[in-house]
Amino acid sequence: MTPSVPDTLISPPVLLAPLAGITDLPFRSLVSQFGAGRVVSEMIASGEFLTDRPGTREKAELGAGIANTSVQLAGRTPEAMAEAARMVEGMGAQVIDINMGCPAKKVVGGYSGSALLRDLDHACRLIEAVIGAVRVPVTLKTRLGWDDASHNAAELAQRAESLGIAMIVIHGRTRCQFYKGKADWRAIRAIKEAVSISVIANGDIVDTASARTALAQSGADGVMVGRGAQGRPWVLAQIAADLFGTKAPLIPTGMRLVDMVAGHYDAMLSFYGTELGNRVARKHLGWYMDDAATASSLRKSILTAKDPDYVFDALPEALLGTERCAA
């Protein structure tokens, strides 16, 4: 049996969800600086990882050994999942998370992610293989079921717990919903009542109010925040402070905000290199400027700029406004 997840690994019980192309090492590091119980790496496809396709192994290596990081794996065969799990454990991963919730057609078409909700026997073979391959805790992230006619996450959770899964995260939608409609936090309660391990609620949790409601309706032990952290890397720490009594984060304003965004941008340039870093940074810079109501012309010039010096110089005006900068 794999060890349970110690409280220190999910304390506070507010976790950052894995988001492809978003929760890279620079963003996870920034969120962690404000305070988060756990951050989860972008999903690593076990098959690609083992064949060393460019860029795949690097995503796992960079950040695998950071204390509050889980490395998330997805795959379709027990052998590949087990071998990938052994490898990331060897790289220093302290928790391994199995993805059985991704709804993307490419992932589902490869018979992994949420496709496994249609074959719980095979899902359990994958879980058993990973748990048997490593000595670190193994967790599971999934959805309510494939569609509204097959809410089988409670059965999967029970079987996963019996195999040694240490914690389970439930996104309150089915696969067929993708990200449409509203997450059904009440439906998560059935999973919570079916197991004794920690259950984390996920889906549409963007602030303290939604986190409080999700916890009340689901009975879950904690929450996982995804898109709500875009442009607001402090939001997990704020939720934790409001609901679990941890130290409140200093939410940056004024030049502190400019310095934080500039630091995040610089970290992306260092991590990816200037050309790719510029491209990857655009989505994050866009979210920061959305909150700041940046003038559209300036926003466009920053998001199309190829010269990092221009971006650094323009950030004060973009985030604070011309008048406030002049003052």
Distance from C-alpha of 113 to C-alpha of 98, rounded to nearest angstrom = 9
Out of 102, 124, 176, 325, which one is annotated catalytic? 102
Was 37 annotated as part of a binding site? no
Residue 105 is assigned to a ligand binding site = no
Q: Which two tokens stand for residue 149?
A: 């006619």
| Residue 224 exposure: Cα atoms within 13 Å on the Cβ side | 26
DSSP characters over 118-183: G-HHHHHHHHHHHHHH-SS-EEEEEES-SSTT---HHHHHHHHHHHT--EEEEESS-GGGTT-S--
Q: Is 203 annotated as a binding residue?
A: no
CA 268 to chain centre: 18
Cβ atoms within 10 Å of 90's Cβ, excluding its own:
10
Question: Is position 102 annotated as part of the catalytic site?
Answer: yes
Rounded to the nearest 10°, the torsion over CA 156, 177, 17, 224 is -70
* Separation CA 87–CA 219 (nearest Å): 35
* Residue 299 counted as an annotated binding residue: no
Q: Is 227 annotated as a binding residue?
A: yes
Specify binding-site residues for FMN.
72, 141, 171, 226-227
The catalytic residue positions are 102
Specify binding-site residues.
72, 141, 171, 226-227
